[in-house]
Amino acid sequence: MNAPDPQAGRRSPFDLSGRVALVTGGSVGIGAAIAAGLARAGADVAVVTHSRQDPATQAAIEAAGARYAAFQADLAALDGPGMNDLIARVEATLGPVDILVNNAGIIRREAAEQYSDEDWAAVTELNLNAVWRLSRAAAHGMLTRGHGRIVNIASLLSFQGGIRVPAYTASKHAVAGLTKALANEWGARGVTVNAIAPGYIATANTDALRADPERNRSILERIPAGRWGEAQDIAGAAVFLASGAATYVNGHVLVVDGGWLAR
């Protein structure tokens, strides 16, 4: 019989040692911050991107003492390169996926009456359909093992309508709904499904807003924190939802917005 681990009761509930995390869109912005945060909490991290890898993300993960692996996949296509066997490739490299962070997403801006079907399809395929497909694929192993954490990236536009972003708004409303639907089915089987709704975060997706003096001013005036969020502000929420500290948190959309929705 193995002797009990004397440190087991002293471990932080946020400790992810021995876990394997998969983060989509994990080479830049919010995804990179989440990937590094999970590594600092002890998880080994696989990062998925459409094309380029960021050496800084790899360096941050390895500096935390975690294993790093990078994979390319076209998440927006049902039969896209690298998509169908993505979970299998990750698990062959790092081991069973315990944590899935569905972060990859895009935004296309245009007046609703001029919004093209091509832009609508591109946004919904990546922001919604890829979340569904990867969650389903990862859940097979998680449910068999009786443990897993799925964290989706929603948005303030899971609650609001926004301006000139009809496809993004529709997709993020749907991500919130899908999060709750999967939580209902899988929660009793050891797999929690939650989402994070970032507020206005300084990333490439918000460059256009920050470059517009009027929009930038109106946004800042409404945020009680008085600043745009940073990608790192989302990392702690992701670590929490991926950890044992959130065992009884399921089907929740955690807003991290500096107080925007409270205004």
Nearest to 194 by CA among 141, 256, 146: 256
Ramachandran category for residue 226: left, alpha or beta (phi over 0 → left; psi -120 to 50 → alpha): left
Strand pairing report for 191-198 and 253-256: parallel
The 10s digit of each residue's pLDDT in 157-216 is 999 999 999 999 999 999 999 999 999 999 999 999 999 999 999 998 889 889 999 999
pLDDT above 80: residue 6: no
Judge whether 168 counts as a catalytic residue.
Answer: yes
- Sign of CA pseudo-dihedral 181, 184, 187, 189: negative
Cβ atoms of residues 204 and 182 within 8 Å: no
The 10s digit of each residue's pLDDT in 35-78 is 999 999 999 999 999 877 789 999 999 999 999 999 999 998 87
Cβ atoms of residues 250 and 152 within 8 Å: no
Ordered by where they begin, the domains of the chain are 16-262 (3.40.50.720)
Among the listed residues 68, 168, 200, 248, the single catalytic one is 168
Nearest to 155 by CA among 179, 128, 175: 175
* Integer-rounded Cα radius of gyration of the chain: 18
Measured N-to-C along each axis, helices 130-145 and 86-94 cross at an angle, to the nearest 10 degrees, of 50
Angle at 206 between CA 63 and CA 151, to 5 degrees: 55
Please, which residues bridge with residue 193 across strands?
Answer: 150
